[in-house]
Amino acid sequence: MTQPIILAIESSCDETSASVIQAGKVLNNVIASQTVHQKYGGVVPELASRAHQQQIHHVVNEALAATGILTNQLNAIAFTRGPGLLGSLLVGVSFAKGMALGLQVPLIDVNHMEAHVLAHFIDDPKPAFPFLCLTVSGGHTQLVVVHDYLHMEVIGETRDDAIGEAFDKAAKMMDFPYPGGPLIDRFAQEGNAKAYSFPHTSIPGLDFSFSGIKTAFLYFLRDNKNTEPRFVELNKQNICASLQAHLVNMVMEKLKLAVDQTGINRVAIAGGVAANSGLRKSLQTQANQSGWDVFIPRFEYCTDNAAMIAIAAHYKFEAKRFASLNVAPLANLAIS
């Protein structure tokens, strides 16, 4: 088959998304974000799975209708197997199984973390192998050596919180609405990154830890609010700029170490926090200084989306790596 057409579904957290890919070219990327979680200050798993259940049919139909491709032209159905929220994953897995069974086409399971990395192969320029990828999201923080489309090696990861969680929890401490990461980024752009400093809480080696900075930030706010109750309101730009610079430095430090240790200076970033303007800028500056070749995905392919599942599925289709109809979602799935 020369022009495989694959429908891909993403439902690991709070975005219901579908994408159609034909011959390795992503045709669209329909995303329905769930707003129901905002008032709770974080994703509520039970509500997320219900919202996926309500939206998935509509999202898949929209993705297909926009391309004019009929279901009987599909050569495979792909879905996110994990990691993610179990109830959310189950909706995508079950819908994909139903379609694959009904259409009598193969099923392709995709690892969400590998898909974040493979988002770099949706558009040009595409990195050559091997390259290093720093995957930074709400659920994960990983340093990966990407040997090939389907062969990735995790060389460092977080021992506790993910960087996105650190952004979101810090935002919550300042009473910002969920998800707070993008808001911190917005305020940071108007502030002075040197206004406040935080303790160095990094651990040795290539693993990450964000629990120390989270606690330090909590005490920093508490102490300052004791003397000025309106501390956050009056200084939010400077607080956000200083915290963001600190978090970005923490990951940049590990990235530099990874380049030194592996000798690989082709460097990519992926995942929701790759949308952060401070991280994008810092990576570009480091690249100019050290002669790194850097790859930064388009905003829409940083946060969760089905286009990245579609491109990953395309390479699995080429390698004939299909899933059986017995496949179950895995909430915690290590990168293969």
Quick check: 137 binds ligand KG4 (CB under 6 A)? yes
- Alpha helices, DSSP H only, in the chain? 45-67, 86-103, 112-118, 163-173, 181-188, 211-227, 231-262, 277-290, 306-318
Q: In which element (H, E) is residue 33 found? A: strand 30-33
Could you tell me which of 121, 116, 118 has the C-alpha nearest to residue 82? 116
Query: 182 is in the binding site of which of Zn ion, ligand KG4, none (Cβ under 5 to 8 A by kind)?
Result: ligand KG4
Quick check: 304 binds Zn ion (CB under 5 A)? yes
3-state secondary structure of 322: coil
Quick check: 168 binds ligand KG4 (CB under 6 A)? yes
> To 5 degrees, how large is the angle CA 297–CA 298–CA 301?
80
Task: Measure the CA–CA gap between 325 and 97, rounded to whole angstroms.
Answer: 7
Query: 238 is in the binding site of which of ligand KG4, Zn ion, none (Cβ under 5 to 8 A by kind)?
Result: none
Give how many residues touch ligand KG4 by CB under 6 A. 18
- CB of residue 300 vs Zn ion: minimum separation in angstroms? 13
- CB of residue 135 vs ligand KG4: minimum separation in angstroms? 8
- CB of residue 74 vs ligand KG4: minimum separation in angstroms? 26
- CB of residue 1 vs ligand KG4: minimum separation in angstroms? 31
Quick check: 276 binds ligand KG4 (CB under 6 A)? yes
In sequence order, the 6+-apart residues with CB closer than 8 A to the CB of 79 are 8, 9, 10, 11, 92, 93, 95, 96, 107, 108, 109, 110, 309
Task: Measure the CA–CA gap between 90 and 113, rounded to whole angstroms.
Answer: 17
> Tokens 């011959």 label which residue?
23
Query: 4 is in the binding site of which of ligand KG4, Zn ion, none (Cβ under 5 to 8 A by kind)?
Result: none
> To 5 degrees, how large is the angle CA 189–CA 192–CA 197?
120
Could you tell me which of 135, 84, 156 has the C-alpha nearest to residue 275? 135
Task: Measure the CA–CA gap between 300 and 296, rounded to whole angstroms.
Answer: 12
Among 82, 106, 181, 297, binds ligand KG4 (CB under 6 A): 181
Separation in Å, CA 29 to CA 82, 116, 300: 19, 14, 9
Which 83-102 positions form the footprint of ligand KG4 (CB under 6 A)?
Answer: none
Q: In which element (H, E) is residue 109 found? A: strand 107-111
Which 124-163 positions form the footprint of Zn ion (CB under 5 A)?
Answer: 137
Quick check: 114 binds ligand KG4 (CB under 6 A)? no
Which CB sits closer to ligand KG4, 51 or 64? Answer: 51
Which 285-314 positions form the footprint of ligand KG4 (CB under 6 A)?
Answer: 303-304
Select the span of 18-26, 101-109, 231-239, 273-281 touching ligand KG4 (CB under 6 A). Answer: 273-281
- CB of residue 134 vs ligand KG4: minimum separation in angstroms? 13
Query: 6 is in the binding site of which of Zn ion, ligand KG4, none (Cβ under 5 to 8 A by kind)?
Result: none
Could you tell me which of 321, 305, 327 has the C-alpha nearest to residue 94? 327
Select the span of 18-26, 251-259, 272-280, 283-291 touching ligand KG4 (CB under 6 A). Answer: 272-280
- CB of residue 82 vs Zn ion: minimum separation in angstroms? 11
The footprint of ligand KG4 (CB under 6 A) covers 13, 137-139, 164, 167-168, 179, 181-182, 185, 271-273, 275-276, 303-304
The footprint of Zn ion (CB under 5 A) covers 137, 304
